[in-house]
Amino acid sequence: MEHDGASAERPLAAEPAAAPPSDAVGPVPAAAAEVFGTQLPRAERFVSHLASTGISWGLVGPREVPRLWDRHVLNCAVLTDLIDQDARVVDIGSGAGLPGLTIALRRPDLTVVLVEPLLRRATWLERVVADLGLRTVTVRRARAEELHGSEQADYVTARAVASLDRLAQWGLPLLRPNGQLLALKGRSAEEEVARTARAVAAAGGVSTDVVSVGAGVVEPPVTVVRVRVAAGRTGAAPAGKPPGAAGSARRRGGPRPGRRPPAH
């Protein structure tokens, strides 16, 4: 997903939209119980938010409602298979909470920071987090590069935010020593890794691999590009904006599942 400019913000709805008819979302997939366990009721409520206020506030395309579970929520939640216990996760360009909120829902042991620059989306996230009672989740209205030097995490996650070289510039400075950037990507992940290898290394990546998660839960499994930073890094983020930050109004924004995500 692209970052769009502040001028793209629209007024917030005065009141939350009513919950959608249950048949609009469709039945809860059997895999959802396996993925979310005791957190399934919260996950269902999150899907209800996506299908109602997510649409009225412009975060979700109406056509995505029937496939929210399979195409978005479960696909994002299985990313936690790659995340260690009790870790701190920063999700950049959170938008509709994909993958950030699904990570927090599936793994209450994690501390999750949702980073979203647009007021409309950040406000929606704050209201949903409060409604779901997710005490381990914080929303920060900012661009990722604005948090360099003030935010550090074990993992940085992103879905459909930008190309891997830009993600590395924005996300790697937020990582602690030996931390990992986990980017949900599509079938062209291997080609993108090869094309951006030099830029990722310049941003601090010491190893990059492409892994699949969710086999047996989602079909097809989800493709993730994993970038590690050095175990011996100081953890200090560079000052100022990363290369290419100037004139980047289009990079602002967050996930919008109404835009077709990359095929897995």
DSSP string of 11-73?
PPPSSPPPPPPHHHH-PPPHHHHHHHGGGHHHHHHHHHHHHTHHHHTTSS-GGGGGGIIIIII
Nearest CA-CA partner of 114 in 127, 124, 100: 100
Looking at residue 88, the DSSP 8-state letter turns out to be E
CA–CA gap between residue 189 and residue 202 (Å, rounded): 19
- Cβ neighbours of residue 146 closer than 8 Å, sequence gap 6 or more: none
- How buried is residue 5: exposed, middle or buried, by Cβ count under 10 Å (0-12/13-18/19+)? middle
Nearest CA-CA partner of 157 in 220, 81, 218: 81
- Cβ neighbours of residue 202 closer than 8 Å, sequence gap 6 or more: none
Q: What is the pLDDT of residue 187?
A: 87
Q: What is the pLDDT of residue 28?
A: 93
CA 57 to chain centre: 18
Q: What is the pLDDT of residue 239?
A: 37
Length of the chain: 264
| Global confidence as pTM | 0.82
Q: What is the pLDDT of residue 234?
A: 56
The pair of structure tokens assigned to 124 is 């929606």
The matching CATH number, chosen from 3.40.50.150, 3.40.50.11600, 3.10.28.10, 3.90.25.10, for 19-233 is 3.40.50.150
Could you state, in chain order, the average pLDDT of each consecutive group of 10 residues for the chain (264 residues)?
38 43 75 96 96 93 90 96 98 96 98 97 97 97 96 95 94 97 94 97 97 93 96 53 37 42 42
**Nearest 5 degrees, angle CA 128-CA 129-CA 130?**
90
